[in-house]
Chains A and B, each alone.
Chain A
Amino acid sequence: MARLTRRALLKRTAGGAAAILGPAAFAQEPAPRPEVPPDPTKIQGRGWQPLGERSPFERPQRRPWSTEGGVSTSPLQDLEGIIVPADLHFERHHAGVPAIDPERYRLLVHGMVERPTIFTLAELKRFPRRSRTCFIECSGNGIRGYRDIAKELTPQAVDGLTSTSEWAGVPLAVIFREVGVKAGATWFLAEGMDAAVMTRSIPVEKAWDDAMIAYAQNGEALRPEQGYPARLLLPGWEGNAQVKWIRRIELSDQPFMTREETARYSDPLPDCTARMFSFEMDAKSIITFPAHPVTLPARGFWEITGLAWSGRGRITRVEVSTDGGAKWEPAALEEPVLPKSHTRFRFPWRWSGGEALLMSRATDETGYVQPTLAQLRAVRGLGTQYHYNNVRAWRVEPDGRVFFGLPAS
């Protein structure tokens, strides 16, 4: 791995601060078509191999988000079902991906506890295991659907900073009972062992609810990009708070006001305040097919499909409009419909060959309905940061090309 020198760093970002990349960064480069025998029934196939690999015809890839190196997006348009292959889970790291020896890994829990304790990874794995299928979404996801909107965006470019996995680990409540959290402890600090030594303050109630220390993802150990060997998992909450490579938890009677919960990951509002500790990800959905850069080759039947999710529980309804929001019809929700998880929806559609504006709108079990762009801008302001969950739209042109778009209203 090339060593990142200061000169390389400056060269890489010459021309100014990190900038969000335009649509071109998400275009797939053409590759030579793989060569295969003309008739596979007339030649013996290859034998077993220790690690499987994708067909050479399939090339789903993460794509960079900005000129800064610490963000990559998941190819939503290439995925089926709700589980993301671990190597396609989006990435967000603030000081690179650390290399950590699991034998040397330690988790320290201290502060307002009866018994300050150090756990090895093997000790964490001795506790009863739980698994949980839930999404993790960066709270900056979707900014391209909120302002400076370009029509050549793909689902990956608009909303690729969200991924659902089956996580496994130990409930944080089990750890907290083990160390004896003192009365009066209301917050805990979670700290990573990357070069950012990332820290966030989390309300203790989340530990008693559903927080976990996760060490596995989709049937195997966490990927390094996802926090190997152990991370904090806070189902339904913004990704940044789910501290990866977690090494320390400190119980306290107040939040710590770290950089990542004040200068960053706070949401300026039009009433001249900034909202902080905005953990929950509100209900959201996006159609992943048909979407840019697809061209529909023929009129007739096409199945519209996409993903819906809410950090507050289950998705109870997804509606689809093919005429820009004049008429909404219910989409089918594909099982399993899990709380705080991506949910796959499907909607049969017959394209007549004219212009169409495809939209989806999610409702969650609290009765929250995914807002329009106008509704969200009215309460958040054009300059706000994070939590961009407004309705998305795809414009189908009469020639079958599909572009990211927004309704006129």
Chain B
Amino acid sequence: MSARGVAGPALALALVFARAAASAPPAPEPPRFGFGRPATAAEIRAWDIDVRPDGEGLPPGRGTVAQGATVYAAKCAACHGASGRNGPFGALVGREPRAGFPFGRDPSLARTVGNYWPYATTLYDYVNRAMPWMQPGSLEPDEVYALVAYLLFLNQIVPEDTALDAATLPRIVMPARDRFVRDNRRGGPEIR
């Protein structure tokens, strides 16, 4: 009797704890785990190659249209054609159609640096990180500035005596810049 009197509350208590253990949420995750290690400035510099439209990320260096023509003939023309228009790979040059930006209406129009790309800094960023196709990431900053200058000249966006560097490149306004708009689809019944 007395044994049962003791066991009863103990059992009840055990059941309460068991139920609490079964229904309690898992312990909250700590805000920080302490994994990973601090990145050094040198490690960040080695990988941080991106260039923003405001010019952030552009390295020291300088290149002219004439220098770009030389680099282009040696490293780009095989794929993109001597004129930048008729190579086996994407056309880089072409301002037509100059009026209206009718790409949404006409699937036959080729989209080029001159008629479609909204930012000149993108050209530096992309050529630097991914070109030439067979030696990606091999160009020196002077070569990239020169190629950008040459391609913008071929697209009749800068004059032939242009030299580009970290100060002048972000100031170039591309013909298509104001054509780009943010996504306005929001779900719901409207088709956009």
| A interface with B by C-beta (< 8 Å) | 6, 9-10, 13-14, 16-18, 94-95, 108-110, 115-120, 123-124, 126-128, 147, 174, 177-179, 189, 191, 195-197, 199, 247-248, 250, 252, 254, 256-259, 262-263, 266-280, 282, 312-313, 364, 366-369, 371, 375-376, 379-384
Contacts and interface: CB of A to CB of B under 8 A. Distances in A.
B38 A126 contact: no
24 contacts: A9-B134, A94-B130, A109-B39, A118-B38, A124-B35, A126-B35, A147-B107, A174-B29, A197-B49, A197-B130, A197-B136, A252-B52, A254-B53, A256-B53, A257-B121, A259-B125, A263-B122, A274-B101, A276-B182, A277-B182, A279-B183, A313-B187, A375-B191, A384-B103
B187 A381 contact: no
B43 A118 contact: yes
B92 to A, nearest CB: 10
B86 to A, nearest CB: 9
A6 B125 CA distance: 23
Contact of A95 (B44, B53, B130): B130
Interface residues of B, number: 65
A255 to B, nearest CB: 8
Contact of B44 (A116, A247, A258): A116
B102 A272 contact: yes
Nearest to B106: A383
A123 to B, nearest CB: 4
B187 to A, nearest CB: 3
Nearest to B134: A6
Interface stretch (B15-23, B109-117, B144-152): B109-117
Interface string B171-192: 0000010011111111111011
Interface of B: 29, 31-33, 35-39, 43-44, 47-54, 78-79, 88-91, 100-109, 111, 113, 116-119, 121-122, 125-126, 129-130, 133-134, 136-137, 176, 179-189, 191-192
Contact of B118 (A123, A257, A279, A312): A257
Given A95-B136, A117-B39, A254-B52, A280 B101 contact: no
Given A108-B39, A191-B47, A263-B113, 16 more contacts: A109-B39, A110-B44, A116-B39, A117-B39, A123-B35, A174-B33, A250-B48, A257-B119, A273-B181, A274-B176, A274-B181, A275-B184, A279-B183, A382-B107, A383-B107, A384-B104
A396 to B, nearest CB: 28
Given A250-B48, A269-B104, A367 B191 contact: no
Shortest beta-carbon contacts, A-B, top 6? A366-B187, A381-B104, A268-B103, A268-B104, A117-B36, A383-B107
Contacts of A95: 130, 133, 136
A174 B29 CA distance: 9
Contact of B47 (A247, A272, A379): A247
A99 to B, nearest CB: 15
Contacts of A382: 105-107
Nearest to B181: A273
Contacts of A269: 104
Contacts of A115: 38
Contacts of B36: 117-120, 123, 178-179
A16 B52 CA distance: 32
Contacts of A380: 104
A365 to B, nearest CB: 8
